[in-house]
Amino acid sequence: MKASITIPLGLLLLVISCTVAQERKTESGLARLDGVNIMSRELWGGHKVKPGDENQYQLQEDIAYLSIHHTQSRATHVKYSEEELLRFVQEYHQGGETGKGELIRFRDIAYHYLVGHTGKIYKGRDENRAPASFTHYLSDSELEGARYKNGKVMPVKVVSKESPGNSVGHLTVSFICGRNSKGVVQDAVLPADSMAEAARLVAELLVKHDLKPSDIRAHREFANTECPGDEIYRWLRGDSMDKAGEGVGLKLIKKEFFKLNK
């Protein structure tokens, strides 16, 4: 007679789910979102960090700001799964073409965390590494005297677009958005529940890195870019589109932040 070992299916599933929860917990270190919906790189099929230029992967010990961004690939959630979209974004950052015939040499996906249409949160690059960027992040001194229009910074001295980077000290959260065949951004604001999940993520990250809601920035407030788009910007800063403004999103973030600090 052939010997066989039968493991009850329920037990097997329990073992697998415990392993996954544990994996998520050790990766992000977030109190409430851990094991709930932080998708580790393994879960979304992220590629390894590429060897290459250290300037594209600088160490950052102290985080001073949490900045808000969006992605805008032609592929959207209508046709592709979020895991696929994440891989497209990472592959683009790790070796896609800029459109000027040059290859992008980011060593990893540019952002630390990404939020999808479904409200799932995806772990991007290591938090101890500065984000990658196509833009120059203006320092506090470069921002002195700057004016703002709809939240978009107009610095006194124009900084060359040819010197991207200077991003050490930023923790980045990016919304996974798309653009249509004409290049117009679409799905900029995710469903309300997903935006609320993003607010919880931001609040947790502020607490984790000893930051305050006043340390939140939108990419357009410190670099020559439209990112994160008008809709997400309004969510953050309100209809005034003023960098001191408070939109639905920032109100939610503050509520969650104070709950965590109680």
| Contacts to Zn ion by CB under 5 A | 69, 219, 227
170-179 and 185-186 strand pairing:
antiparallel
Pick 132 or 196: Cβ nearer Zn ion? 132
CB of 160 to Zn ion, least distance (A): 18
3-state secondary structure of 185: strand
CB of 228 to Zn ion, least distance (A): 6
Pick 219 or 243: Cβ nearer Zn ion? 219
> Is the link from the previous residue into 228 a cis peptide, with omega within 30 of 0?
yes
Pick 201 or 227: Cβ nearer Zn ion? 227
CB of 177 to Zn ion, least distance (A): 11
**Is the torsion defined by CA of 242, 248, 252, 258 positive or negative?**
positive
What's the rounded Cα separation, in Å, for the pair 256 and 250? 10
What's the rounded Cα separation, in Å, for the pair 186 and 179? 5
Side-chain half-sphere CA neighbours of 152 within 13 A: 9
Pick 227 or 250: Cβ nearer Zn ion? 227
Pick 211 or 223: Cβ nearer Zn ion? 223
The residue among 139, 194, 205 whose CA lies nearest residue 172 is: 205
CB of 203 to Zn ion, least distance (A): 20
Q: Is 49 exposed, middle or buried (0-12, 13-18, 19+ CB in 10 A)?
A: middle
CB of 35 to Zn ion, least distance (A): 28
Pick 219 or 234: Cβ nearer Zn ion? 219
CB of 236 to Zn ion, least distance (A): 13
**Phi-psi map region of 101: left, alpha, beta (phi>0 left; psi -120 to 50 alpha):** left
CB of 66 to Zn ion, least distance (A): 12
What's the rounded Cα separation, in Å, for the pair 166 and 52? 18
Q: Which run of H or of E encompasses 67? A: strand 65-73
Query: Which residue bears the tokens 């932040």?
Result: 257
What's the rounded Cα separation, in Å, for the pair 75 and 78? 8
Pick 24 or 121: Cβ nearer Zn ion? 121
